[in-house]
Chains A and B, each alone.
Chain A
Amino acid sequence: MKILTLGWRLLLTLCIVMAMCLPAWGRTIKIGVIGPMNFVQGKSHWNGAVMAAEEINAKGGVQVGNEKMKIELVKADSNEFLNVTDATNAMERLMTQDKVDFVVGGFRTEAVLPMQDIAMDYKKIFIGCGAATKSLCDRVAENYNRYKYWFRGTPFNDNYLVRTSFSHLGAGAAVIKNELKVPVKCAIVAEKAAWTEGMVKVAEATIPKMGFELVGVWRPSAVATDVTAELSAIQKSGANLIFTLFSSSVGITFARQAGELKIPALQAGINVEAQKEGFWEATKGMGNYVYTSSTYIRGVEYSELTKPFVEGYFKRFGEVPTYTADTHTAIAEALVPSIEAVGSLDADKIVAYLENREYLVPSGKVKYEKDAQGRPTHDLTWGPGYLTGLAGQWQDGKFVGVWPYKWVAAPGAPEVTYKGMVPLKIPPWMKK
């Protein structure tokens, strides 16, 4: 009986404490972070958002009119790599159970499209931080009243991604031409995956137009553990530039074996594994001179916001942020200043304000595009002065920024070199 009394007393005390604490917490701004949380992309979504929320809350929160509100994050595992249905359920849950005010995240386009529809049904601002497909923003132009709550946060759209990759390729080819005085012979090596299908077709059409000889296309498995057959064939073809499209472990295999065999060609393009800190160890140093697109590289600064973000992220999570960590940007740079400016959480007011903003972010400057007819698309503007992305190269154990380095996007355009960039190098064994 005594124990029971004690239990009841404890319960009563707990209730009083909670009741006292509630007003202190006040109202919060609930932001849903949706992504494949068991995968690196989702983890980065979450890390970026956590960092943004911690920074903002540490400063006292967000000034919404006369009220100061803290940010409360709601984590939603979309499981979208394995199950698209799961992703839509997670979004519906964010909308109706968690009743979030805003959503950031999403990765796989096939999942983001229906997730976008659900967010639009509830008129909630959804800033996409992963899917590159242009059609997500085309919907805004085609049906503005319904889809205006969608904004692209990162990356820039697939058309621009392809253009950037060819700019990287062009920069590599220029170094080969200047240093070796030979014509450029290019091989395409793309892992067997859906995302590379379209890019291979575009590359096959574009590379000859760039004035390079296309010597062939090789398609190893995304998880191949041996690519010596492909490398031998590439060497025999006389290629001195290899356009790589790798997102899986084959990126390590290919770089390691190419280094071991001293294949006389520069690897340029996309190699997701090479963007990671562990790449040097994984290739036992054989991945030297691998050159890949990237979003953030330590020591490279797009703007004054880059260093605090990259170093802060590295300090907090022990790794360089990937592009899906731009949930930080979506919250800290896109949403919060817009909420403070309009003094309200009203989605329509925020949309009207945000779509006309131009603002600095750690990866450059954001300006939302309009289509040829002048309709807002809420897509990101690409190019000098705005967002360009980066390319890095492994040079003697360090991943350094090499593109844009004295890059001229079009005749007459200003030359672009970000702070901390170094010149691109070709492997020394190409010079023999």
Chain B
Amino acid sequence: MVAAGLYLKRFYTVVRKEVLVLPSRIIVALFFIVLLGMPLISRNPYLIRVIVLTSIFAILAASWDLLSGFTGQMNFGHALFFGVGAYTSALLNIHLHLPPWGSVPLGAAAAVLTGLIVGIPCLRLKHTYLALTTMAFPIILMGIVFALPDVTGGELGISGLQRISNSLIGNYYIYIVIMLVLCTIMWKITDSHTGIIFHAIREDELAVKASGINTTRYKLLAFCLSGFFAGISGGLYAHYMRIAGPSTLEVSMSFSVVIWAVFGGMATIYGPVAAVFILFPLLEFVRFWPEYRTMIFAVVVLLILLYMPEGLIPWVRDKIEKGCPRCKIRNVATRKTCRVCTAGLD
């Protein structure tokens, strides 16, 4: 009892001193609470479906940010990893009757392998050339899908996959928790030593090489990590939709990911996640005006990019918080002095 009280006190202290001091942290905490508490407020299957699919795409968008936002390896064919994860999970589930807890990780492993296969030839390429080359890979895979209809189901895809859970709420919590955990892991990776090297490669690869760091290895690692997370989202998607089809490899899927990441703010992880949670439900919300759905979506994206070129979330964050010029710690925008080093903030 006493131990529990101590833990509670410690938890309260952490919340008060680490979370409540910054608006962005409060927003993230609220995001976690709202998502985890949603079924207590509403069990509407449509709402739950939208949130589950949003979560799957949030993992995908964050995985793109890990590779292209942080490492600067501009990937315009991210649907490749998603599709490989989806198809591998589907094949394993349908033909080997592997349950989702086995097929999804193996699908992700296949996507890692794909990351290696794609990463190696792409290492010598940069900028536009890299973007165009990566764009070609899902198109090649789609060609293979259509060429081997007996294996891949061709145009129809592989359908009849097992659900992860047959319970609506069970499904919801599985997807939401996986999304929260994976996105937190990705965020922690970018905050780690490896993440700093990723960031440095994007800023100045030559300087990183000159520091004795094997950038080739790190770029390949970025491809594999990104492939892993995108592969998981592909597998989850296939099991949720109960089908893995050619649409998972479409160019529009790759571009959607880029739009989400750029809209939310690249090289942040939380930016693309937030963007998916804004844009995907927005598309659903404007169903009442079907003729103009896509146009409304495009206008919102354009306006944000026009007035917030760094992305929505960094813009919002800069409005509500400011960095200390001396210790770089972030403070709420209303403060006059830094909460750590007490340096003046204006």
Which A residues have a C-beta under 8 Å from some C-beta of B? 37-38, 75, 77, 79, 82-86, 88-90, 92-93, 95-97, 109-111, 113-114, 117, 133, 135, 139, 194-195, 197-198
By secondary structure, the A interface counts as helix
Question: Is B46's CB within 8 Å of the partner chain A?
Answer: yes
Q: State the Cβ distance, B146 to closest chain A Cβ, in Å.
A: 6
| Contact call B156/A135, Cβ cutoff below 8 A | yes
A-B contact list, 23 entries, CB within 8 Å: A38-B290, A82-B252, A83-B247, A84-B243, A84-B247, A85-B53, A86-B283, A89-B46, A92-B46, A95-B45, A96-B44, A97-B44, A97-B46, A110-B155, A110-B243, A113-B157, A113-B242, A114-B159, A133-B156, A194-B154, A194-B246, A197-B146, A197-B149
- On whether A135 and B159 interact (CB within 8 A), knowing A38-B290, A38-B291, A198-B149, the answer reads yes
Q: State the Cβ distance, A385 to closest chain B Cβ, in Å.
A: 30
Residues of A within 8 A of B242 (CB): 113-114, 117
By secondary structure, the B interface counts as helix
| Contact call A37/B290, Cβ cutoff below 8 A | yes
Residues of B within 8 A of A38 (CB): 290-291
| Contact call B290/A110, Cβ cutoff below 8 A | no
Q: State the Cβ distance, B94 to closest chain A Cβ, in Å.
A: 13
| Contact call A113/B159, Cβ cutoff below 8 A | yes
CA distance A180 to B156 in the complex (A): 42
Contact of A77 among B45, B149, B156, B293 (CB under 8 A): B293
Q: State the Cβ distance, B289 to closest chain A Cβ, in Å.
A: 10
| Contact call B246/A110, Cβ cutoff below 8 A | yes
Q: State the Cβ distance, A44 to closest chain B Cβ, in Å.
A: 16
CA distance A83 to B284 in the complex (A): 12
| Contact call A75/B246, Cβ cutoff below 8 A | no
Question: Is B25's CB within 8 Å of the partner chain A?
Answer: no
Q: Which of B33-65 contact A (CB under 8 A)?
A: 44-46, 49-50, 53
Residues of B within 8 A of A139 (CB): 160
Q: State the Cβ distance, B59 to closest chain A Cβ, in Å.
A: 14
Can you list, as one digit per residue, whether each of B128-162 has a CB less than 8 Å from chain A (1) or not (0)?
Answer: 00000000000000000010010000111101100
- On whether A88 and B46 interact (CB within 8 A), knowing A37-B290, A109-B156, A194-B146, the answer reads no
- On whether A84 and B155 interact (CB within 8 A), knowing A77-B290, A90-B287, A93-B46, the answer reads no
A122 (CB) vs chain B CBs: closest residue: B45
Residues of B within 8 A of A197 (CB): 146, 149, 154-155
Residues of A within 8 A of B154 (CB): 194, 197-198
Residues of A within 8 A of B115 (CB): none
Question: Is B311's CB within 8 Å of the partner chain A?
Answer: no
Residues of A within 8 A of B156 (CB): 109-110, 113, 133, 135
Residues of B within 8 A of A133 (CB): 156
CA distance A75 to B283 in the complex (A): 16
A90 (CB) vs chain B CBs: closest residue: B287
Residues of A within 8 A of B246 (CB): 110, 194
Question: Is B245's CB within 8 Å of the partner chain A?
Answer: yes
CA distance A197 to B150 in the complex (A): 13
CA distance A306 to B45 in the complex (A): 41
Question: Is B241's CB within 8 Å of the partner chain A?
Answer: yes
CA distance A85 to B247 in the complex (A): 9
| Contact call A89/B53, Cβ cutoff below 8 A | yes
CA distance A84 to B146 in the complex (A): 18
| Contact call B241/A89, Cβ cutoff below 8 A | no
Q: State the Cβ distance, A82 to closest chain B Cβ, in Å.
A: 6
Contact of B49 among A79, A89, A110 (CB under 8 A): A89
| Contact call A89/B284, Cβ cutoff below 8 A | yes
CA distance A240 to B146 in the complex (A): 30
Q: Which of B283-320 contact A (CB under 8 A)?
A: 283-284, 287, 290-291, 293
Q: State the Cβ distance, A214 to closest chain B Cβ, in Å.
A: 21
| Contact call A92/B45, Cβ cutoff below 8 A | yes
Known interface pairs A96-B45, A110-B247; 16 further A-B residue pairs with C-beta atoms within 8 A, sorted by A's residue number: A38-B291, A77-B290, A84-B245, A84-B247, A85-B53, A88-B49, A89-B46, A89-B50, A92-B45, A93-B46, A97-B44, A109-B155, A110-B155, A111-B247, A113-B243, A198-B155
| Contact call A194/B155, Cβ cutoff below 8 A | yes
B247 (CB) vs chain A CBs: closest residue: A84
CA distance A96 to B159 in the complex (A): 23
CA distance A286 to B290 in the complex (A): 38
| Contact call A84/B49, Cβ cutoff below 8 A | no
| Contact call A84/B290, Cβ cutoff below 8 A | no
A86 (CB) vs chain B CBs: closest residue: B283
Q: State the Cβ distance, A187 to closest chain B Cβ, in Å.
A: 23
Residues of A within 8 A of B243 (CB): 84, 110, 113-114
Residues of A within 8 A of B50 (CB): 89
Can you list, as one digit per residue, whether each of B229-270 has a CB less than 8 Å from chain A (1) or not (0)?
Answer: 000000000000111011100001000000000000000000
Q: Which of B136-193 contact A (CB under 8 A)?
A: 146, 149, 154-157, 159-160
Residues of A within 8 A of B287 (CB): 77, 90, 93
Q: Which 9 A-B pairs have the closest CB atoms?
A: A110-B245, A77-B290, A84-B247, A194-B155, A96-B46, A113-B159, A96-B45, A92-B49, A114-B241
CA distance A197 to B284 in the complex (A): 34
Residues of B within 8 A of A135 (CB): 156, 159
Contact of A110 among B157, B160, B252, B291 (CB under 8 A): B157
- On whether A85 and B241 interact (CB within 8 A), knowing A110-B247, A113-B157, A135-B159, the answer reads yes
CA distance A159 to B290 in the complex (A): 34
CA distance A82 to B252 in the complex (A): 8
CA distance A135 to B242 in the complex (A): 15
Q: State the Cβ distance, B121 to closest chain A Cβ, in Å.
A: 26
